[in-house]
Amino acid sequence: MFTLTNNLIVILIITSLINSFTIYISWKRRKNKGGLYITLAMLGIAIWTLFAEVNYATVPIPLKVFFAKWEYTFYNITFAFLAMFSLVYGGFADWLKKKSVKAFFWVIPISNILLAWTNDWHGLLWKSFTGSDFGNNTLIFGHGPGYYWAGITGLLMTLIIILPIWKASRIGTEFSRRQARLLFITSMLSVVSAVIYLLASQRLKGVDWAPIICCVLGILYILILYGTRLLDLVPIARYTMIEQMSDCVLVLDENNRMVDFNPAAQELFQINHDHLGKPLQTVMVDHPEIVDLFSHNSNRSSPLTVVHEGEPRMFDTHLALFKDNFGKQYGKLMTLSDVTKHHQTEQALAQRLFEIRELNKNLQESQAQIVAQQRRLAKLEERKRLGRDMHDSVNQSIHSLMLFSETLASLLKKGQVAKALSVAERIEESGRRALKEIRMLVFESQSQESDEITDLLAALRDRFSFVENRAGVQTEIILDGTLPYIPSEWNENLFWITIEALNNALKYAQTNKVKIFFRYKDKRLEMEIVDKGVGFDPDHRNGGGMGMRTMRERAELLDGKLFVTSSPGCGTSVLFSAEIKEQNE
What residues have CB less than 8 Å from 102, skipping those under 6 apart? 96
Contacts 24+ apart (CB under 8 A), 338-342: 338/246, 338/247, 338/248, 338/313, 338/314, 339/314, 339/315, 340/312, 340/313, 340/314, 340/315, 342/314
| pLDDT tens by residue, 200-239 | 433 455 556 666 666 676 667 666 655 554 434 444 455 5
- pLDDT-derived band at 363 (thresholds 50, 70, 90) equals confident
Q: Is the domain of 462 the same as that of 386?
A: no
Walk across the sheet containing 248-253 and list its strands: 258-261, 248-253, 329-338, 311-323, 300-308
What residues have CB less than 8 Å from 283, skipping those under 6 apart? 258, 269, 271, 275
The four Cα atoms 123, 127, 129, 134 give a dihedral, to 10 degrees, of -130
Are the C-beta atoms of 558 and 536 separated by less than 8 Å?
no
| pLDDT tens by residue, 138-147 | 677 778 888 8
| pLDDT tens by residue, 275-313 | 888 899 999 988 899 999 988 888 888 898 888 878 888
The domain that contains 329 carries what CATH number? 3.30.450.20
Of 236, 265, 299, the residue that ends a domain is 236
Structural domain including 30 reads 7-236
Strands 474-480 and 513-521: parallel
| pLDDT tens by residue, 145-195 | 888 888 888 888 888 988 988 888 877 656 667 777 777 877 777 666 656
Whether the pTM exceeds 0.85: the reply is no
Bridge partners, residue 120, by sequence:
none
Of 316, 338, 360, the residue that ends a domain is 338
Q: Is the domain of 205 the same as that of 62?
A: yes
Q: Does the structure show a pLDDT above 50 at 71?
A: yes
Q: Is the domain of 269 the same as that of 194?
A: no
Following DSSP, what letter does each residue of 399-458 receive, concatenated?
HHHHHHHHHHHHHHHHT-HHHHHHHHHHHHHHHHHHHHHHHHHHHHHHHHHS---S-HHH
Using DSSP, state whether 517 is helix, strand or coil: strand
Amino acid occupying residue 423: V
Q: Is the domain of 47 the same as that of 185?
A: yes
Q: Is residue 20, in this structure, part of any structural domain at all?
A: yes
Q: Is the domain of 250 the same as that of 161?
A: no
How many domains, in total, are found in the chain?
4
Of 400, 425, 450, the residue that ends a domain is 450
Q: Is the domain of 21 the same as that of 88?
A: yes
Please give the sequence-ordered ranges of beta strands (E in DSSP) within 210-288, or none if there are none. 248-253, 258-261
